[in-house]
Amino acid sequence: MRRQHTERHRTDRIGWLRAAVLGANDGIVSTASLVVGVAAAGASHGVILTTGVAGLVAGAMSMAAGEYVSVYSQADTEQADLSRERAELEADPAAERRELARIYVARGLDPALADQVSGQLMAHDALGAHAREELGITAELSARPLQAALASAGSFAVGAALPLAAVLLLSQSSLIVGVSLSSLILLALLGALAARVGGASPLLGAWRVAFWGALAMAVTAGVGAWFGTVA
């Protein structure tokens, strides 16, 4: 009885993890920066909240559209390469078998063994073997536009909702400091979680995300304060 390979690897998470982390990070950073910048310009509490909500909706839609178009372009490229490879296999399978064998020889297999392996793999799934070994395309890492768009938009909305919750709970006088500190804490937690899921250092991930978030909010607050002064 053939046993199925059930071992899970972190590369299985790359597609949705990248989109989700990017969306949540952008949601927190862009909305918190927008809120802090408008608040620094002297806007009223109601204007700040309205601006934040508008930023959430616009940002989520933008992230969804951007991810979908971007990842769909990758999917189109993969399909074009697979179509070309399929045509080459139909036109000259012997040459494609030799090409696959050369790949295995370059990786360290004996030429005779490489020829045997390439023959068996092509007999089982010729296109799959060439897609994996020659093109680097696998089922786990292939482009999924809709998944990326939904993950990115959803995580952006969740991330953006967190600074907006702080706006609702805080008074006008403590809004800038409160939104900034709470957003930095959330960014650090997000960076640590993403790094842990991806197998990297949580501390490094937290520092990296929090640093760029702090920089974005500081620059936006400075611009808002300047415009508020000259307006």
This prediction has a pTM of 0.68
Cα(201)–Cα(213) distance, integer angstroms: 19
Q: Where does the chain have alpha helices with state H? A: 14-40, 45-91, 93-106, 111-130, 145-169, 175-198, 202-230
183 close to 194: Cβ distance less than 8 angstroms: no
Low-confidence ranges of the chain (pLDDT < 50): 1-7, 9-12, 230-231
The reported pLDDT for the residue numbered 15 is 52
28 close to 190: Cβ distance less than 8 angstroms: yes
In sequence order, what are the residues at sequence separation of 6 or more whose Cβ sits closer than 8 angstroms to the Cβ of residue 211?
A: none
Cα(185)–Cα(120) distance, integer angstroms: 54
Angle between helices 202-230 and 175-198 (to 10 degrees): 150
- Which of these, 155, 129, 168, lies nearest to 25 by C-alpha position? 155
The reported pLDDT for the residue numbered 5 is 45
The reported pLDDT for the residue numbered 2 is 40
Cα(56)–Cα(53) distance, integer angstroms: 5
What does each C-alpha distance from 37 to 51, 110, 176, 224 come to in angstroms? 11, 64, 9, 4
- Which of these, 66, 33, 39, lies nearest to 160 by C-alpha position? 33
What does each C-alpha distance from 90 to 83, 84, 121, 128 come to in angstroms? 11, 10, 16, 14
